[in-house]
Amino acid sequence: MIENVPFALLLGIKVLVVLGLMLGVSLVLIYAELKWSAHIQSRVGPWYVGGRWGWAHPLAEAVKFLQKEDLVPEEADDKVFRLAPYVMLAGTVATFVVIPIGPEWVARNLDVGIFYLLAISSLSTLGVLMAGWGSGNKYSLIGGVRAGAQLIAYELPLVLALVAVAIQAGTLSLTGIVEAQATPLFTIGGVDIALPYVLSGQIIGFVIFVIASLAELNRTPFDLPLAESELTMGYVTEYSGLRFTMFFLGEYAGMVSMAAIVSTVYLGGYWMPGLSDSALDIAGPFILLAKIFFVLFLFIWFRWTWPRIREDQLQGLAWKWLIPLTLFNIIATATLKVVL
Amino acid sequence: MLEQYFGDYITVAVFLATGGLLVGAGLLVAGLIRPNKPSKTKSEIYECGIVPVGDGWSQTHIRYYIFALLFLIFDVEAIFIFPWALQLETFAANGQGLFVLVVMFLFIGTLLEGLLYAIRKGVLKWE
């Protein structure tokens, strides 16, 4: 069926589906964060917009920002300042290329999936750096520099945690990794048991990956580049109106893409035990969405329960704990792979 | 044929462009309805309410340049590990598993030793 559709049309449909999913989930996520954080702090959160539970709050915010004046500071580096949001969102949208939402449904099953993800997800940090530098503001500059510091510290645990996954799966393609997780490990009483990687050997990798992805996303407890209480608004201080909204959206879409990566690599992606491939073609996207929201809930939960850590503690955590731990994780995974 | 061969690149390029288009389209729509009254005060850099002191790009000591050097070393290492990780299964099937494992352990061990040296030397400490 799919083979007969022209390439360009198919690509167009894929782009629309990915855009719809990304924007839709991001909007729900913004609302969910407002509501969950409110309930964690015993507040009600958004209440009036949309009639019930304030469900239209994120939409109202988007419309509000659309009407705001767009300011570019006189002393700013004009080109870099204007280009930054483009780089940020381009990197975020491109991560969705390799994420499979069903056995057949993937924008492009790249052979170098994990490699590609790691390369392209750093692009949004480049956008942050550009924003920090281009603003010509001291707070923004410090924010951008801090974002760079976080990238170099937490990119490594991220990469090395995924190396262990690559060893266990024997492939870099994300569809291949999900299929590897769906392969039965052992049989109990005639029933084949297959486990996602978080339950079959990669629990340390999972924890490290979630910590490192929080740092990559500049989320609390690693939100030093934004740090409202010390840097005004960090790298977005000088942005207003829609440009600011784009950074805001980029941040949340980045969370969605990171959660999708975690779900795919560690939680089994679109796969669920007991469903055939043809059933997964229909149910897959919903299963993946449920997993994504579980991970997003973790992200939000962490944000509202932990204080921000200091810059030297951030570096220390990465270099003294996470990187040695991931290296041991690689050694352990490789040994098990050869011995078993 | 061309699509099969370049499909990967085209897909990625289109998705990258979509991200840019999203921003462009948003700015275009906003441009139609938002007010635009620039003034000298508005286009000033925000610092704390009064006129900013000095240049926006004031000298900053980027204290993590040693971390950046370490990062380079480990990132290159990661690139070396990936192909090894993918071929491990094949080697293990050919009975060379132990040899391949020991070789990689030596490599990782050397780098771990370097990290340990850096930690003991105190370069990962911020004064």
Which range among A230-234, A302-306, B93-97 has the greatest average pLDDT?
A302-306
Q: Is residue A3 part of a domain?
A: no
Using the predicted structure, report yes or no on whether residue A302 has a pLDDT greater than 80: yes
Q: Is residue B57 part of a domain?
A: no
Q: Is the bond leading into A225 cis (omega within 30 degrees of zero)? A: no
Residue A201 CB contacts under 8 Å (≥ 6 apart), including other chains? A168, A333, A336
Mean pLDDT for B73-84 is: 83
**Residue A250: in which H helix or E strand, if any?**
helix A241-266
Domain ranges, residue A329: 72-339
B69 and B109 in a single domain? The answer is yes
Cβ distance B3 to A337 less than 8 Å, yes or no, reads no
B28 and B72 in a single domain? The answer is no
Q: Is residue A22 part of a domain?
A: no
Domain ranges, residue B30: 2-43
Q: Is residue B48 part of a domain?
A: no
Find the residue in B nearest to A170 (Cα): B86
Mean pLDDT for A159-174 is: 87
B66 and B114 in a single domain? The answer is yes
Residue B56: closest CA among B65, B48, B47:
B47
**A68: region left, alpha or beta (phi > 0 left; psi from -120 to 50 alpha):** beta
Task: Name the token pair of A20.
Answer: 């719809």
pLDDT confidence of residue A3: 64
Chain B positions touching A323 (Cβ under 8 A) are 74, 115
- Quick one: how far is CA A62 from the chain centroid? 21
| Cβ within 8 Å of A, B 76-105 | 78, 81-82, 85-86, 88-89, 92, 97-98, 100-101, 104-105
Cβ distance B71 to A330 less than 8 Å, yes or no, reads no
B116 and B67 in a single domain? The answer is yes
d(CA B92, CA A303): 43
B68 and B116 in a single domain? The answer is yes
Q: How many domains does chain A have?
A: 1
Say if B34 is an interface residue toward chain A (CB within 8 Å).
Answer: yes
Q: Is residue B93 part of a domain?
A: yes
Q: Is residue B53 part of a domain?
A: no
Residue pair A201/A336 in contact (Cβ under 8 Å)? The answer is yes
Question: How does pLDDT run across B40-55, given as a tens digit for each residue?
Answer: 777 777 777 777 777 7
B75 and B26 in a single domain? The answer is no
Average pLDDT, chain B: 81
Mean pLDDT for A276-298 is: 85
d(CA A200, CA A185): 9
Share of chain A residues as helix, strand and coil, in percent rounded to the nearest 5:
70, 0, 30
Q: Is residue A36 part of a domain?
A: no
Which range among A96-110, A247-261, B34-48, B92-106 has the greatest average pLDDT?
A247-261
Over pLDDT 70: what percentage of chain A?
A: 99
Question: How does pLDDT run across A110-129, given as a tens digit for each residue?
Answer: 788 888 888 888 888 888 88
d(CA A161, CA A172): 13
Residue A166: closest CA among A334, A336, A321:
A334
Over pLDDT 90: what percentage of chain A?
A: 4
Q: Is residue B75 part of a domain?
A: yes
Cβ distance A331 to B8 less than 8 Å, yes or no, reads no
Q: Is residue B28 part of a domain?
A: yes
Question: How does pLDDT run across A12-52, given as a tens digit for each residue?
Answer: 888 888 888 888 888 889 898 888 888 888 888 888 887 78
Using the predicted structure, report yes or no on whether residue B21 has a pLDDT greater than 60: yes
B38 and B66 in a single domain? The answer is no
Q: Is residue B78 part of a domain?
A: yes
Q: How many domains does chain B have?
A: 2
